[in-house]
């Protein structure tokens, strides 16, 4: 296990941010996030076998498992890519939805946007720090002698 990885403050911060989200059993929340909140899911319990819902739940479960184990930096970087896919961008409908459902700040009108931006900024730092593909790409684009 890499000590620098396990003591990375961004990993701890990401874990705290993710702990503010409802659990995987809140299928209506995750179905709505999966839809970008453009279409609010009104079902109390969305179908957990729906293709999109299954995808987001699988990626979130796998990523959180890797994050908690803190053993595989590349897997956590991959999780960061998925978090950006699910939460990044100029998405006011998603921010409004998050303001209602994210724990510890529910009801504040700007909380959802602040939350999504912090989550994505943290995910981006983790990707930049631990995604090994970047190292491979750099070596390929700038071949040469390494001393």
pLDDT at position 134 over 80: no
Structural domain boundaries, residue 31: 3-141
Q: Is 58 among the domain residues?
A: yes
Q: Which of 23, 3, 107 lies closest to 64 in space, CA to CA?
A: 23
Phi, psi at 60, each rounded to 5°? -65, -45
Q: Is 36 among the domain residues?
A: yes
Phi, psi at 88, each rounded to 5°? -85, 160
State the Cα–Cα distance between residues 139 and 109, nearest whole angstrom.
45
Please give the share of the chain, as a percent, with pLDDT higher than 70.
80
| pLDDT, position 75 | 95
Q: How many domains does the chain have?
A: 1
Q: pLDDT class for 43, splitting at 50, 70, 90?
A: very low
Buried b (16+ CB within 10 A) or exposed e, 101-135: bbeeeeeeeebbbebbeebbebbbbbbebbbeeee
The Cα diameter of the chain in Å comes to: 60
Q: Is 147 among the domain residues?
A: no
Q: pLDDT class for 1, splitting at 50, 70, 90?
A: very low
State the Cα–Cα distance between residues 30 and 42, nearest whole angstrom.
12
Q: Is 81 among the domain residues?
A: yes
Q: Is 146 among the domain residues?
A: no
Give tens-digit pLDDT for 95-132.
888 888 876 655 677 889 999 999 999 999 999 999 88
Poorest-pLDDT segment among 23-27, 36-40, 95-99, 124-128: 36-40
| pLDDT, position 141 | 83
**Mean per-residue pLDDT for 12-38?**
88
């Amino acid at each position: 296990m890499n000590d620098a990885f396990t003591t990375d403050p961004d990993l701890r911060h990401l874990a705290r941010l993710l702990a503010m989200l409802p659990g995987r059993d809140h299928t209506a929340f995750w179905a709505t996030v999966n839809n970008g909140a453009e279409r609010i899911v009104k079902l109390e319990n969305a179908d957990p076998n729906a293709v999109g819902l299954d995808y987001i739940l699988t990626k979130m479960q796998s990523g959180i498992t890797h994050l908690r184990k803190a053993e595989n930096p590349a897997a956590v970087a991959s999780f960061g890519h998925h978090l950006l896919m699910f939460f990044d961008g100029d998405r006011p409908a998603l921010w409004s939805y998050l303001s209602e459902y994210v724990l510890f700040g529910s009801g504040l009108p700007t909380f959802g946007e602040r939350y999504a931006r912090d989550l994505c900024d943290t995910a981006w730092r983790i990707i930049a720090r631990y995604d090994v593909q970047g190292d491979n790409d750099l070596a390929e684009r700038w071949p040469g002698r390494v001393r």
